[in-house]
Structure 1
Amino acid sequence: MNKLSKLFLILIMPAFVAAGGGGPNFSEHVAQIIFNNCTSCHRKGEGAPFEFTSYEDVRKRGRLIVRVTESGFMPPWHATSADYQFEGARGLRDGEIETLTRWVEGGMPEGDPKKLPQRPTFTPGWKLGKPDLVVKMKEPYPVPAAGRDIYRSFVIPLNLKEVKWVKAVEFKPGAPEVVHHSLFRYDTSGLARRLDARSPTPGFRGMGDGNALGPRSLGGWAVGGSARFLPEGLAYRLPAGSDLILDMHFHLSGKPEKEVSTVGIYFSDKPPTDVFTAIQMPPQFGALSRVDIPAGVKDYTVEDSFVLPVDLEAFSVSAHAHYLGKQMRMTATLPNGVKKELIHIPDWDFTWQEEYNYSEFVSLPKGTRLDTTIVWDNSEDNPSNPHNPPRRVRWGLQSTDEMGSLTLAVKPKNLSDMRSLHTALGRHARNHYNARRNRPAQAGGGLWAAVVAGVMRGDKNGDGKINKVEAPRWLLKSFDKVDADSSGDLDRRELERARDRLGKGRD
């Protein structure tokens, strides 16, 4: 080859590579990576800010894609487990990230459009396909631009003529910028309708029992979460004549919004063969743990342990904390001493609160010890810290307060063992609180603040007080003692002063 020919090849080689001759192109190499990992969220009608359904969509943001995938920021997936696989785990292999990088460096060629893989198909608006029943809020709820977080419940009639078994509920917020999470439950008593009718605006104050796996629960949704079907053999019971209740938490965004939630319900054609419940550690989203985080502390830690009284099988796990959450871990030490990691979230993100489903049921024999560790970072080094400079943060309902828990969804191997499990969980909650209450704490924090907040959530008529109809059962026998001014209702100040009167001791 003469010198002129070599020079010609050197000059045309960059163009040849850019055209796709020597490197990856979109149609043959990049499209499948994007379709498999990005398009489910990056499409019309979903929460992602732009679409990734075509070559032009991806080419326009090719360099951004490389940056966020190399850093691990995208695709969003925050949980790991050294011992078990999660269903639908998002993440790119090193080779896939390298392909994206080489494609961008090579000029982002399209390649032959005829070789483009089939684009994924989605039922418009629904990730799980067409629901059996679609319902929505009767009227919009006005969410103000600023103020404290709002907890409000909304009633949606279902008009069911017979018992149904629910396999999944898919939730679509109308104003996703302000809806932090929603718990779904049913009501057959008509109480929710009456409370709704008393309020001049849609819904009523409060947020149900706060239990995503309680006896009337139909599951829930949180920011970053995705709807999934329950495993085979499991279903929620939905009685005839039920109203759907959406217990919602709004975190205000700085501009007014109007929320009209839409819900898709998926029915099973047969009753379930198993029952299921939840093990939450620490209990009550950490309310019993006296969470009280001093300003500047980088690694405030709460631990919890629970020994299983019966044989169980776990099928999903979820986590909850607010802005100061740093990392979470749950392990299982089996009776033979072998330790298994159920979940580890090394870098908690308040905006992604998913439920992680195991690919297969996880067997947890009787005698297995579950251990959880939750760490919060209240230092100025935490970029998510809502306070600058940092300030003391305690357990509470506001997003700028803190919570923390890991929740393991389980089914007993024997149906008759459910009562034994619930009894043990109740005993565990009491023991956990007693162990924590003996530790020194700063004045004004701890359990009683959480108790007061929980009681005030029962203020259904919005008058800022609790009457005997709104009060929890445990408070009724001491109601008159706490009612210092004999007004027939309790305000927050009376409740805060009632700790000693009720014999709770100082926590």
Structure 2
Amino acid sequence: MKKGLLEFVLLWLLTAPEMVAQIPTYTTDIQPILAQHCAPCHHPGGLGPFSLLTYEDVVKRGKFVAKVTQIRYMPPFPADREFQHYANERGLSETEISTIQAWVRGGMVRGVQGMGQRAGGRGQGVEGSSTDNEPSALTPLPPARTPDLVLRMKPYGIRGDAREDFRYFHVPMGLTQDIWVEAIEFVPGNRKLLHHSRLMIDSTGTMAGIDGITEEDPRLRDFQKTPLADEFLYGWVPGNDRVTFPDGAAKRIRAGSDLILNIHYSPSAKADQDQSEVRLYFARKPVERVVKTLTLTENNVTNQPFQLPANAKPTFYMNYGPLPDTVRLLSVLPHMHRLGKSVRAFAITPDGNVINLIKIDAWDYNWQLSYFFKEPLVLPKGATIIAEASYDNTDQNPLNPNRPARTVGYGWNSTDEMMNLVFYYIK
């Protein structure tokens, strides 16, 4: 009896360390995952609604984190990564998802401070000097690059009349020489009410009077007769806070140019404020290619008219081409509103080859991104871009903003619909 007990104890002593080692801990296993995939958005002042920088932050939302990562809702990346690969794609591996699940099931063990170290060097996010009584903070994010030019609109008082509000704002840039811009960032001053923003460039110096006017103002037609130097410098929608062009490629903005913002505010029953800003980052390396914009709109739909009958689930098709010259696509940004369900786009070359561009099977209005290809996609002269988008304008669609469902057509209001594909390209 004693011999059997002794053998059991010895066996337990030999296997216990291995059993313990199989239980994930925050410092060793979870912290590095969050540092890489979550902390860039989930930090104080970041895009995420809460911080995930400390053990205390994470453990109180542990089950929620496990759920949204298991169903791949987070990190958000709606595009199908098997259809096409992108330089800015994100997502957790099966192993990382399983590790988070096991950590939550195992009681969300914190682990020993300073043990988040792996082969090859110090683990991500571990403060080696921490004690058990100190917050288990992730390693601070790398210092953000300081923008070379910050342009801030004048404070605007958002009306509290429960109506859609479309405004134009004129922002002087004060440029005395041409600039080459390799990254553009829009920082909403009111994320709750700001629906979208379009950035344009005027080089005529005649648009100052557009500042603050609404789209309903009859004077707008006169301003719209002025040709713009860049009709689409950049578009902000939820999730698309910043775009960065590849090395050697940049947008050119001429000396004397001014920034024009077209901002859409969602209806609000309460008056509020906004003072959004634009951050420009100048090219650090010699610019070899000029970035241009190609926008496909509802005018490119082949099965006109672009109307969504009430209680219908229509699909629309686009056809653009043949291209007059060879282009190299840098990115694609699809855009629909809340009735959108799916979108797919590809190109067909003159030789009949198919080049996949974007495929989103479950459209999420809250996460619209500029998808940058890993390498520029070459579309030869004569190629054609084809796209299809499906919508659900039924009463059964919980995201339908119209109750009851009504026939919907093109419009910028959130109760209307759109079908856009925006490409950055170089030649």
TM-score range, shorter chain: 0.7 to 0.9
Partner of 1:63 in structure 2?
Answer: 63
More helix by percentage: 1
CA distance in 2, matches of 1:137, 1:197: 10
Partner of 1:365 in structure 2?
Answer: 380
The AA in structure 1 aligned to 2:99 is T
CA distance in 1, matches of 2:406, 2:323: 38
Query: Is this contact kept in 2: 1:84–1:341, CA < 8 A?
Result: yes
C-alpha deviation, 1:63, in angstroms: 0.3
Residues 234, 101 of structure 1: CA spacing in aligned structure 2 closer, same or farther, 3 A cutoff?
same
Q: Residue 149 of structure 2 is aligned with which of 123, 133, 136? A: 133
CA distance in 2, matches of 1:230, 1:32: 28
Which sections of structure 1, spanning at least 5 residues, go unmatched?
413-507
Residues 293, 83 of structure 1: CA spacing in aligned structure 2 closer, same or farther, 3 A cutoff?
closer
CA distance in 1, matches of 2:338, 2:354: 30
Q: Does 1:118 align with 2:134?
A: no
CA distance in 2, matches of 1:14, 1:251: 58
Partner of 1:39 in structure 2?
Answer: 39
Partner of 1:52 in structure 2?
Answer: 52
| Matches for 1:306-321 after TM superposition, within 5 Å | 306-321=321-336
C-alpha deviation, 1:284, in angstroms: 5.0
Q: Does 1:348 align with 2:363?
A: yes
Partner of 2:198 in structure 1?
Answer: 183
Residues 167, 208 of structure 1: CA spacing in aligned structure 2 closer, same or farther, 3 A cutoff?
farther
Partner of 2:120 in structure 1?
Answer: none
| Matches for 1:279-294 after TM superposition, within 5 Å | 279-284=294-299, 289-294=304-309
Please say which of residues 300-309 and 253-262 is displaced more in the overlay.
Answer: 300-309
TM-score normalised by structure 1 residue count: 0.71
Residues 367, 350 of structure 1: CA spacing in aligned structure 2 closer, same or farther, 3 A cutoff?
same
| Matches for 1:396-435 after TM superposition, within 5 Å | 396-412=411-427
CA distance in 2, matches of 1:263, 1:389: 39
C-alpha deviation, 1:185, in angstroms: 2.2
Partner of 1:326 in structure 2?
Answer: 341
The AA in structure 1 aligned to 2:38 is C
C-alpha deviation, 1:121, in angstroms: 4.1
Partner of 2:405 in structure 1?
Answer: 390
Deviations 1:180-212 (A, max 9, x none): 22122233333322333889xxxx979986xxx
CA distance in 2, matches of 1:14, 1:73: 36
Q: Residue 274 of structure 2 is aligned with which of 245, 259, 277? A: 259
Kindly report the root-mean-square deviation, in angstroms, between the aligned alpha carbons of the 2 structures: 3.2
Residues 14, 252 of structure 1: CA spacing in aligned structure 2 closer, same or farther, 3 A cutoff?
farther
CA distance in 1, matches of 2:87, 2:182: 17
CA distance in 2, matches of 1:106, 1:392: 52
Q: What's the secondary structure of 1:398's corresponding residue?
A: coil
Q: What's the secondary structure of 2:67's corresponding residue?
A: helix
Please say which of residues 114-123 and 147-156 is displaced more in the overlay.
Answer: 114-123
CA distance in 1, matches of 2:233, 2:42: 28
Equivalent pairs counted in the alignment come to 398
Query: Is this contact kept in 2: 1:148–1:398, CA < 8 A?
Result: no
Q: What's the secondary structure of 2:329's corresponding residue?
A: strand
CA distance in 2, matches of 1:166, 1:5: 71
Q: What's the secondary structure of 1:142's corresponding residue?
A: strand
Deviations 1:280-334 (A, max 9, x none): 3345586994211111112433343532232221110011111101100001223
Query: Is this contact kept in 1: 2:252–2:290, CA < 8 A?
Result: no
Partner of 1:74 in structure 2?
Answer: 74
Query: Is this contact kept in 2: 1:285–1:404, CA < 8 A?
Result: no
Partner of 1:148 in structure 2?
Answer: 163
| Matches for 1:163-174 after TM superposition, within 5 Å | 163-174=178-189
Partner of 1:502 in structure 2?
Answer: none
CA distance in 1, matches of 2:38, 2:262: 30
Q: What's the secondary structure of 1:307's corresponding residue?
A: coil
The AA in structure 1 aligned to 2:389 is I
Query: Is this contact kept in 2: 1:154–1:196, CA < 8 A?
Result: yes
Residues 108, 291 of structure 1: CA spacing in aligned structure 2 closer, same or farther, 3 A cutoff?
same
Residues 194, 123 of structure 1: CA spacing in aligned structure 2 closer, same or farther, 3 A cutoff?
farther
Which sections of structure 2, spanning at least 5 residues, go unmatched?
117-122, 126-138
C-alpha deviation, 1:115, in angstroms: 2.3
CA distance in 1, matches of 2:267, 2:16: 51
Partner of 2:312 in structure 1?
Answer: 297
Partner of 2:128 in structure 1?
Answer: none
C-alpha deviation, 1:216, in angstroms: 5.3
Q: Does 1:249 align with 2:255?
A: no
| Matches for 1:196-215 after TM superposition, within 5 Å | 196=211, 215=230
Deviations 1:86-144 (A, max 9, x none): 112121111111100000000111112202333354467x5xx2111223123x21112
Residues 336, 195 of structure 1: CA spacing in aligned structure 2 closer, same or farther, 3 A cutoff?
closer
